[in-house]
Amino acid sequence: MVKLGKEFIWQMAHRLPYHDAGCQNIHGHSYKMILTLEGELNDKGMLLDFYDIATIVEPFLMGKLDHAMVCNSSDKKMIDFLKENGMKYFVFDEYTTCENLCGLFMRELKPKFAEHKNIKVIGIRIFETADAYAEVVESI
């Protein structure tokens, strides 16, 4: 098996409404994701072309999340504000923690990478800051 990785960087805002040490406020991060794939080389000597990885990841990442406010679906006050002001936002049912963002990415990306039968494992590591990250790794 071989392991391959690609890094993605984007800007995104969020808040944790339940937090009482500052993160209840709207704030942003320069997020970084390191996507890893493990499996067997294909007949071209690659696990998957880096270009193909980007074409799978970027429509979701850059199209929906880059420069967006990510909100928990129960944060109605925030969602209403963003709608009323024509802001870019993305809503999902979990709190917008780094751990939950890893799960979101896994649910979104795993089925797409599973179409490549030589890929056996996917890992998603998301850095919220330069020194803090969450990671999930799953078999395909």
Q: Yes or no: is domain 2-139 CATH 3.30.479.10?
A: yes
DSSP-assigned letters across all residues of the chain: -EEEEEEEEEEEEE--TT-SSSTTS-EEEEEEEEEEEEE---TTS-SS-HHHHHHHHHHHIIIIITTEEEEETT-HHHHHHHHHTT--EEEESS---HHHHHHHHHHHHHHHHHTSTTEEEEEEEEEEETTEEEEEEEE-
Entry pTM: 0.92
pLDDT at 24: 87
Reported as a single tens digit per residue, the pLDDT across 22-67 is 888 899 999 999 999 999 999 999 999 999 999 999 999 999 999 9
- Assess contact for 48 and 4: CB atoms under 8 A: yes
Reported as a single tens digit per residue, the pLDDT across 60-102 is 999 999 999 999 999 999 999 999 999 999 999 999 999 999 9
Q: What does the pLDDT average to over 2-13?
A: 97
pLDDT at 134: 98
